[in-house]
A and B are shown apart, each in its own frame.
Chain A
């Protein structure tokens, strides 16, 4: 549901940029995907977690999953591509895809590699 909602909102916000960049949940990203975190929010799907919704958001934030942070998916597990390992600014973090659901990333087009 958010997938459908998010893209139009994003394109209206950023106009042309949205043509080149895609907005995805981190839980759907693949190794090699890189971009900037645009939103960390707790929504209904987090209710399946043992924690409250707000608690998951706070934990993600405390680990550095915060709006504006650069992120790149580095590796994924063998079974169902889960969990994933990401480079988050200058540290590496492992997390399960289900916990990455609330992190929205604006992807850079592939092949456009920065210096680092």
Chain B
């Protein structure tokens, strides 16, 4: 580092945002930093680190850290531990913040006052941002700011993050503290015991009574909405209706964009293939790189639609209600109510689903959710299912419904039921007893702010591309290598893949797969299919030398129907419900759990399930005369 940049770095003031969940902390972070945000992980833990830059009116650069929301410095989850350690200046690799901004929902001060008392004990300079102040005013809530200031011993700024009100004053206040060299005093914080928490509540209650007059027009809307949305029957019906709309949207809204991406990448590959000399590098670029990146990016539209719904529902305040409604239903299988959102995301793709398990505090609850997430029918299975169904399931109708549609539904149901069963068995036999409490705030309903929704969506997209790209690219390259080397000998008649390492592995492994009815071509196709499930379709096209399998799935289906028995086709379907045919998912599990243990566990249990399911399917089908 040069001397100049060292000086510059020293001049940047470090600010950290702390607050309860649902206090509008992230909205304030977005309002302050706009698009100057960076997302990464804290060193060594899978907790999202969001940092942004902002300049004060006088031109001073500040770095703002958005810390995970918490009710207490006594951390209950990895996220909260990060908040505690950053606030205490005790997180390795993270500089201690110069000033804390405690973000409070002005309409819900009780719990945050207790947090403020804890933060005060830490001894860092602190500003209190009373956010959502407009709502407080609208409700006729009177806050004696001067009195509160004196009582808490810290400056108070009122803000409305969504309208960008009070931001300059907040920054000016922070700058003033930096200029004055407001010093960190001795840290007197230690974990409070039950008696001390009670004491702090009494103190918070006293402060509240003395300086805050209850609202004249309290929010009654939330109660009225809850009467419907949390109704035992109507609430569940609405939740199911919402899920239905969401699924429709994920598959229909995203389809045109997906086609566009697909066509775009194919055109790019075609263009390169046409203009470069055929050879290793061209093959690497078109078959390895471009089709690899394309096969991942093609899921981006679905993931965006899914996250649009999730962010909207989250910001509206519905997600906590969904967890409430689903808790007991999922609890029967040993899953936490909060596992609902990650599992829902997994229907688009297990990768964002597994990343979303970060909302689950408890490690075991989170691991269980991660382990079963890939059993949800992700959209990459759909091309495989569609191909096999069209090849082997007749176009007949059963009880007025299309048999093909019923089989598709059955495949989805098998995924969900097996996820519940695996979770149940895990909690029943491996992790007995340890049941975490389910305690969750039900926030007041709020209209989502379009800018925050857009920013959230952009962030999710960025994270997906970054993480997926970093994991998937090397894997794609590895799979391409296995399927391309060594090349076909001169005068070879079979497709080149048959001579490659993948082809040799396929033939070598074929005896293992013989009992479940797989021929060697199928086993060969499974290997590139390991990069992403739907790649298996193209790979089957390659091994059966059906040109341009993507553009003519009908031709491939006919070929398969000719070469495979129905029992084999059904066995292949059963295999795809369970098999861990997605190296990216395993990679993400490794990253999220920081250990190779869980991807290995996942691989072993899913492969075992897949093999058993295929074996049973194959035998039953053969007995039924479909062999």
Contacts and interface: CB of A to CB of B under 8 A. Distances in A.
Interface in A30-88: 42, 48-51, 54, 56-64, 66-68, 74-80, 82-83, 85
A6 interface: no
Given A75-B226, A78-B328, A85-B230, A91 B194 contact: no
B273 interface: no
A75 B223 CA distance: 10
A83 B436 contact: no
Interface residues of A, number: 39
Given A61-B198, A80-B328, A92-B226, A85 B442 contact: yes
Interface in B169-200: 192-194, 197-198
Contact of A62 (B71, B108, B232): B71
Contacts of B327: 77, 82-83, 94, 96
B226 A74 contact: yes
Interface in B194-241: 194, 197-198, 201, 205, 214, 218, 222-223, 226-227, 230-233, 235-236
Contact of B437 (A49, A61, A77, A91): A49
A79 B111 contact: no
B194 A54 contact: yes
A49 B451 CA distance: 42
B25 to A, nearest CB: 16
Contacts of B201: 61, 64, 66
A9 interface: no
B197 A61 contact: yes
Contacts of B107: 90
B71 A50 contact: no
Contacts of B235: 78
A20 to B, nearest CB: 25
A94 B110 contact: no
A99 B327 CA distance: 13
B281 interface: no
A85 B437 contact: no
A67 B201 CA distance: 9
Interface string B578-593: 0000000000000000
B310 interface: no
Given A58-B193, A63-B111, A92-B222, A99 B328 contact: no
Given A64-B201, A74-B230, A96 B438 contact: yes
Contact of A56 (B72, B434, B437): B437
Contact of B197 (A62, A85, A98): A62
B235 to A, nearest CB: 8
- The A interface is mostly helix, strand or loop, or mixed, namely mixed
Contacts of A93: 439-442
Contact of B71 (A63, A66, A67, A74): A63
B439 A64 contact: no
Contacts of A61: 194, 197-198, 201
B433 A48 contact: yes
A116 B437 CA distance: 29
A28 to B, nearest CB: 17
B435 interface: yes
B507 interface: no
Interface string B431-474: 00111111111111000000000000000000000000000000
Contact of B111 (A77, A82, A91, A98): A91
A93 B194 CA distance: 20
Contacts of A50: 362, 364, 433-436
A68 B114 CA distance: 16
Nearest to A76: B232
Contacts of B72: 62
B74 interface: yes
B437 A99 contact: yes
Nearest to A68: B205
A44 B434 CA distance: 15
B320 interface: yes
A89 B110 contact: yes
Contacts of B324: 75, 77, 83, 85, 94
A91 B440 CA distance: 11
Contacts of B439: 59-60, 63, 93-95, 99
B441 A74 contact: no
Nearest to B107: A90
Contacts of B226: 74-75, 85, 92
B325 interface: yes
Given A79-B329, A94-B441, 6 more contacts: A59-B76, A61-B197, A78-B236, A89-B110, A92-B443, A94-B438
The 4 tightest CB contacts between A and B, nearest first, are A50-B434, A78-B232, A92-B442, A99-B437
18 contacts: A48-B435, A50-B362, A50-B364, A59-B76, A62-B72, A62-B114, A63-B111, A64-B201, A74-B223, A75-B324, A77-B327, A78-B328, A79-B329, A80-B328, A85-B226, A91-B108, A94-B320, A94-B324
Interface of A: 42, 48-51, 54, 56-64, 66-68, 74-80, 82-83, 85, 89-96, 98-99, 116
Interface of B: 71-72, 74, 76, 107-108, 110-111, 114, 192-194, 197-198, 201, 205, 214, 218, 222-223, 226-227, 230-233, 235-236, 320, 323-325, 327-329, 331-332, 337, 362, 364, 433-444
